[in-house]
Chain A
Amino acid sequence: MNRMIFARLLPALALALVIGACSATAPGPTAGFSLSNEPLLGKFVWHDLVTDDVEKARRFYGGLLGWKFEKSTHPLGGDYTLITLDGQYLGGMVRLEDPAEADYSRWLPYLSVADVDAAVRFAETAGGTAVVAPLDLGNIGRAAAITDPEGAVVGLLRSRVGDPDDSTESAAGRIVWNELLAAEEGTAARFYGSLAGLEVSTISRRGGEYTLLRAQGRDRAGVMQRPDPRVTPLWLTYFAVDDVAASARRVTELGGEVLLAPSPDLREGQLAVVTDPNGAILALQQWPQ
């Protein structure tokens, strides 16, 4: 009799465990944002903060941009922190210990490509290197990270579940732009054009020519000559803020550093370039512009 009761209760328990496992820690592919049916090739579709101190980073970005965080599990195992704003995922944080002689903390944008393996081979042929060789990420897709021929680091992703579409409105706290500070912007732009099928175009701006990388009829990223030859080429991620001057002050209060304070000479006072307390560089963009 007891055995029969046990046998009847166990299926319910097992079902509850399955549902609990999948609902508590596993947002579905469409949870938090709307995904495209097909990958949006050439779009930056995800951003990770690689940092040596996740807790410090949470305090900084939570205080500066109003983000919330969810502890999660990395597709390959280990801790992973998901960043949310107004219930939508906008990126992740992964911990990586800095060695004594270098700072690894950085924002890493991921570019949607048709074939990660082919893109890495192309990058290597063009003078880049594979920093993380192509690997499968469970049911998400396939990813890699490279340095481009000038040394800027970028992630590559081919999603199996679609990419975040363009339905989310830009707003304070969200990622609004990615810009390559290049050693030679024309050569760098052509490299990314070939890497991810991006259309390269230029516009006149502030007395110079600014390079745009376009896909799906939209501006996906910018390429700019680095402001000083000693700057290591890098992809700079832009975060929207309501008041860039107030946000720059807040950066200092929260333990970050202001590298370029807002000023009339710097994009009409709408931009600040800062680091978080762990040394990752980011741009703050007044929004709306």
Chain B
Amino acid sequence: MMHEREKVSTWTKRILILLLVAVCLQLGGCSGNVGVGLSVGVPIGDHGYISVGGGRWL
């Protein structure tokens, strides 16, 4: 009887660990295989001047 109870307890621990991993993956999205997404905070500058010199585009 004790043996059976210990067996269940061991299984329960394993399952709980598996559940914990699953929840972590769910929360983390298990993602990270696609994309980069660096936040680059550099002013783009005065792009209005691109409209000047259209004939100089080789």
Binding site for B on A (CB under 8 A): 3-4, 7, 10-11, 13-15, 17-18, 20-22, 25-29, 31-32, 46, 48, 50, 72-76, 80, 82, 89, 92, 94, 96, 99, 102-106, 108, 110, 131-132, 137-140, 143-145, 147, 151, 153, 155, 157, 161, 181, 205-210, 224-225, 227-228, 230-232, 234, 259-260, 263, 265-267, 271, 273, 275, 279-281
Contacts and interface: CB of A to CB of B under 8 A. Distances in A.
B37 A94 contact: yes
A135 to B, nearest CB: 8
Interface string B5-42: 00010011001001101110110111111111111111
Contacts of A92: 34-37
Given A10-B15, A103-B44, A206-B58, 16 more contacts: A20-B26, A26-B32, A72-B34, A72-B35, A74-B37, A75-B36, A96-B41, A102-B44, A227-B50, A228-B56, A230-B46, A232-B44, A259-B47, A259-B50, A271-B57, A273-B50
A104 B41 contact: yes
Contacts of B37: 48, 74-76, 80, 92, 94
Contacts of B56: 225, 227-228
A132 B6 CA distance: 53
Contacts of A232: 44-47
B50 A231 contact: yes
Describe A's contact surface by its main secondary structure: mixed
Contacts of A76: 37
B38 A143 contact: yes
Contacts of A208: 58
A27 B17 CA distance: 25
A25 B22 contact: no
A128 to B, nearest CB: 12
Contact of A139 (B12, B25, B33, B43): B33
Contacts of A106: 40, 42, 44
A242 B24 CA distance: 44
B44 A234 contact: yes
Contact of B34 (A89, A99, A143): A89
B33 to A, nearest CB: 5
Given A21-B22, A22-B25, A48-B38, A104 B55 contact: no
Given A14-B15, A143-B36, A281 B30 contact: no
16 contacts: A10-B12, A25-B31, A26-B30, A73-B28, A74-B37, A96-B39, A102-B43, A104-B41, A106-B42, A137-B32, A151-B45, A227-B50, A228-B53, A230-B46, A231-B46, A260-B51
A145 B40 CA distance: 7
Contact of A7 (B8, B23, B33): B8
A46 B29 CA distance: 21
Contacts of B46: 230-232
Given A22-B30, A209-B58, A279 B40 contact: no
A228 B30 contact: no
A234 B53 CA distance: 16
